[in-house]
Amino acid sequence: MRVTFHGRLADLLGRDLEVAVDTPCTVAALRSRMIETWPQMAQPLGDRRVRACVGNKLVPDDHPLDGTDDVEFLAPVSGG
Amino acid sequence: MSVTVRLEGDCLDPRAELGALLEAAAGDGAVVSFVGVARPKSTAGAGVDELVLDHHPTLTRKSLEDIALAAAERFPVSQVRVVHRCGRVPAGAPIVFAGASAVHRRAAFECADYLMDRLKTEAVFWKREVGEAGAVWIEPTDADYADNGRWG
């Protein structure tokens, strides 16, 4: 599944990456899978302020994902 | 009532924006504008060469529009104008223009104040200062959140 990071999250693993995860799953399962693979993501991805976005809409952690979804994770915004 | 929102990648000319606002405000008695400029020093006092504003391909513009439309609904104004930079902004260059016009001054002042308080905390940007201290991510300050809280 293709994952894109915005803001300071992109400092850790780069802006885009491909995550091997069994689908269908949820945003929460994707977070857990990434933390298993990259333990350094535990703190940033565990931050409740880090929101997921699918199809240009913010989605909750129980949002269902299939293999074709692109998922974005947004660091807390800086404002203008 | 007219609401103008733009996200600019290269250049923001506050004089041109104020000129356009004045022209559109014909018949109004008050025009208020605010220009935010990239500071050459961080809050810790380190020299800053540029501010880099990362943005989201759709959510950033939508956040600017939502804030501008809310301001237009909340105050008796006839023009709302928000123009925001993204990308690399050198110290000393304008980052944001927020302006409003109204029949009377109070609504125009309050509208510009409201626009900036919301933009400073809610606009979808990820900012970093680049300079003496390297690249430092910036988040809204407690004062920014308190300012935004004034509007309920």
What's the pLDDT at A67?
87
| pLDDT tens digits, A18-68 | 999 999 999 999 999 999 999 999 999 999 899 999 999 999 999 999 989
**Short-list A35, A7, A8, CA closest to A21:** A35
Q: Say yes or no for a CB contact (<8 Å) between B126 and A53.
A: no
How many CB atoms lie under 10 A from the CB of residue A49? 10
Name the one residue in this structure whose structure tokens are 């250049």: B11
A79 vs B126: CB contact, 8 Å cut-off? Answer: no
Could you report the per-residue pLDDT of B77-105, keeping only the tens digit for each? Answer: 999 999 999 999 999 999 999 999 999 99
Helix (H, G, I), strand (E, B) or coil at B151: coil
Per-residue pLDDT at A54: 98
What DSSP state is assigned to residue B41?
B
Confidence (pLDDT) at A38 = 96
A78, B59: Cβ pair inside 8 Å?
no
| Nearest CA distance, A56 vs chain B (angstrom) | 7
- The residues, any chain, with a CB within 8 Å of residue B130's CB and separated by 6 or more, are B48, B49, B50, B51, B52, B136
Output the pLDDT for position A72.
98
Residues in chain B: 152
ipTM for the complex shown: 0.90
Task: Return the pLDDT at B139.
Answer: 87
Q: With contacts defined as CB-CB under 8 Å, which chain B residues touch A74?
A: 56, 59, 124
Residues of B with CB under 8 A from a CB of A: 36, 53-54, 56-59, 64, 84, 95-96, 119-127, 137-140, 144
pTM: 0.94
From first to last of its 152 residues, chain B has per-residue pLDDT tens of: 999 999 999 999 999 999 999 999 999 999 999 999 999 999 999 999 999 999 999 999 999 999 999 999 999 999 999 999 999 999 999 999 999 999 999 999 999 999 999 999 999 999 999 999 999 999 888 999 999 999 98
Q: What is the 3-state secondary structure (H, E, C) of chain A?
A: CEEEEEHHHHHHHCCEEECCCCCCEEHHHHHHHHHHHCHHHHHHHHCCCCEEEECCEEECCCCEECCCCEEEEECCCCCC
User: Out of A7, A56, A79, whose CB is closest to B140?
Assistant: A79
pLDDT > 90 in chain B, percent: 96
